[in-house]
Chain A
Amino acid sequence: MINRSILFGALASALLLAAPVKAAEGGDRPHRESWSFAGPFGTYDQGQLQRGFKVFREVCASCHSANFLYFRNLAQEGGPGFSEAQAKAVASEYQITDGPNDQGEMFQRPGRLSDHWPAPFPNEQAARVANGGAYPPDFSVLAKARSYHIGFPGFITDAFIQYQEHGVDYIHALLTGYVEPPAGTTVQPGLHYNKYFPGHQIAMPKPLSDGQVEYTDGTPQTEDQYSRDVSAFMMWMAEPHLDARKRMGFQVFIFLILLSGLLYFTKKKVWKNVSH
């Protein structure tokens, strides 16, 4: 047992040495929310995805692109659950640049299922000019591209409890994190104070407020609810096969546990007469 005590002693001293240092992270730590898609049996809530889609369409999409989101995805299994006809109807409401035609010219036509979500700006430079120099990031995988500092031991326990929702936690916190700047803070012109944004000064003005988007299913039309719904929608956009992944994971686990049990007894049988 001597080696065990040395082990812990060394580990403890390494941590003590490291403890006084704190990473220079700006931005408060987001809260952990409860998401329908968290955990081993988590699935997307279709109603929430549909509401989130509405918020995305009516609010976010005026500045943010979502280049990997195709109209066909809206009718895909494990998604917001629109029918193919509904997805086609949504697509046809947008004008898509196509071409060149036989005259060598680009032309506009209504969207089809095979088109991706039209970007609000033709290129990054145009987006920057229209947004005071800031580039509104593409939404496609943003929910997986954001996180926050978790630290020890949280980063280890998260592997055991399967907590993977840091990105949506951050997005929800950011969307609802617009507060009055603390006294003595000067906010740069064109920027806005946000509790959760690294450095606290963000170019995006407060995007959501109560009653802004109409919900027809009786869900409260609050800023907080909009934020949750659009965060969930962004998670689906970033990980559209999450439902299938977790479902298959469960089947694989049942199978592997059965097989390893059988193999254990087979191994015992084979080794029965050998002392080892």
Chain B
Amino acid sequence: MEGHSTYQPQGKVARWFESRLPIMGLLHSSAVAYPTPKNLNYLWTFGAILTFMLGCQIVSGIVLAMHYTAYAPVSFARVEHIMRDVSYGWLIRYIHANGASMFFIAVYIHMFRGMYYGSYKAPREVLWILGVIIYLLMMATAFMGYVLPWGQMSFWGATVITNLFSAIPGIGETIVQWLWGGYSVGDPTLNRFFSLHYLLPFMIAGVVVLHIWALHHVGQNNPDGLDVKSVAKDTVPFTPYATIKDIFAMVVFLLFFSWFIFYIPNYLGHSDNYIPANPLATPAHIVPEWYFLPFYAILRSIPDKLGGVLAMFGAIAVLAFLPWLDTSKVRSARYRPLFRQFFWIFAVVSVGLGYLGSQPAEGGYVIASRILTAYYFIHFLVILPLLGLFERPKPLPASIADAVLARGAKGATAPHAKA
């Protein structure tokens, strides 16, 4: 964001303006001249995809808010009004509802990419923690957004999640009543959730600015996990190289997104949410949205109320300590053969927890959830600290340019091994 540009605007007016507010120089240095490592793969395009998804959610959300009413007796009907009467209302609502899932798909790829290539390690600890904060804000936003259609899953999801806070000893009950604005989830809850659901995305946008600032200050990590030694040899300017690659990836991601919007728009939702909220009858199986399922499985795996809540929040909080839990000096899993295997086990465990979160909490599912929950924490608290001490990493190339060159030579003999 600073120092990469010696931007001189053309023209007298532009120069007059630039000497008073150097905004063009700022944009030029952060979006044009900014040097990106030339060995980045397509996993690095998810940052741009996430920025696009945030914009997409904000724009579609503002439009939906023009037609929606947060008032318990009518909210369900207002959403159907959008779906039926508003010009392209069905499109905009399906964009927003599925957009939330796409946002999480992209953020999970982004996070696992960071874990695989050690993007959280020095000097990127603050960058990583800002990312964890964005993730937390996203979860809060998505949860409150899911309440707004005021269907059965909205209502009972809100009931269950807000009841988590009742586990806090002593003051829990009071906190929950304050969250609800009543003695149960009701119209006051719906209204405050709508207000916060509108506010939080702008807070996310604010933290995203900090996240990008921190990124551009320390520079991007890369698949080889090496520091940039020479800007000329190791990097390419952000525009046009990264820009065109990001746009291409974004359009491919849009293809994936469109599959959901146009052909299976209710696939990721739950049919019970097309039943208006009924405070007197809980649906047979209540499940959160898919992106919360691993944490839901962790919550249910602990037989104690407070313990379950602590484990669930702990599972997210532990991410913030990742830069210090991973003791290895080598960043990329490319050069950490043992870590690479444990990474994949962890990925499978996370998906497994997600599957278990969608199943009823009984019998073998509970046992499986407990095993996987234990492994989740062991991965962070035992395996990662020890791996750094005992693992023997592969030799690192001298520079990014050397790594690219070495792969190029290999690629000449084995074309399928192209990076």
Contact = CB atoms under 8 A, between A and B. Distances in A.
B258 A240 contact: no
Q: Which secondary structure characterizes the binding site on chain A?
A: helix
A20 interface: yes
Q: Please classify how large the interface on chain B is, using the bins under 10, 10 to 19, 20 to 34, 35 or more.
A: 35 or more
A260 B248 contact: yes
A40 interface: yes
A65 B190 CA distance: 26
B383 to A, nearest CB: 14
Contact of B258 (A73, A137, A253): A253
Contacts of B226: none
Given A144-B271, A252-B262, A263-B247, A14 B368 contact: yes
B38 A249 contact: no
Contacts, number: 148
A82 interface: no
Interface in B241-300: 241, 244-245, 247-248, 251-252, 254-255, 258, 261-267, 271-272, 274-275, 284-285
Contacts of B347: 7
B209 to A, nearest CB: 27
Given A3-B344, A144-B274, A164-B266, A17 B367 contact: yes
B404 interface: yes
A68 B262 contact: no
A187 interface: no
A141 B248 CA distance: 38
Contacts of B219: none
A179 interface: no
A17 B274 contact: no
**Most interface-central of A67, A264, A274, A276 (chain B CB within 10 A):** A276
B406 to A, nearest CB: 11
Interface of A: 2-4, 6-7, 10-11, 14, 17-21, 23-24, 40, 67-68, 73, 137, 140-142, 144-147, 152, 158-159, 162, 164, 166-167, 198, 238, 240-241, 244-246, 248-250, 252-253, 256-257, 259-260, 263-264, 266-267, 270-271, 274-276
A183 B83 CA distance: 46
Interface in B167-185: none
Contacts of B94: 245
Contact of A256 (B90, B251, B404): B251
B77 interface: yes
Nearest to B405: A275
B262 A18 contact: no
Contacts of B348: 6-7, 10-11, 14
A140 B275 CA distance: 10
A139 to B, nearest CB: 12
Interface string B128-167: 0000000000000000000000000000000000000000
A192 B43 CA distance: 56
A109 to B, nearest CB: 23
Nearest to B363: A21
B279 to A, nearest CB: 13
Contact of B80 (A68, A267, A271): A68
B39 interface: yes
Contacts of A14: 348, 352, 355-356, 368, 372
A276 B406 CA distance: 11
**Most interface-central of B38, B274, B344 (chain A CB within 10 A):** B274
B77 A19 contact: no
Interface in B351-379: 351-352, 355-356, 359-360, 362-365, 367-368, 371-372
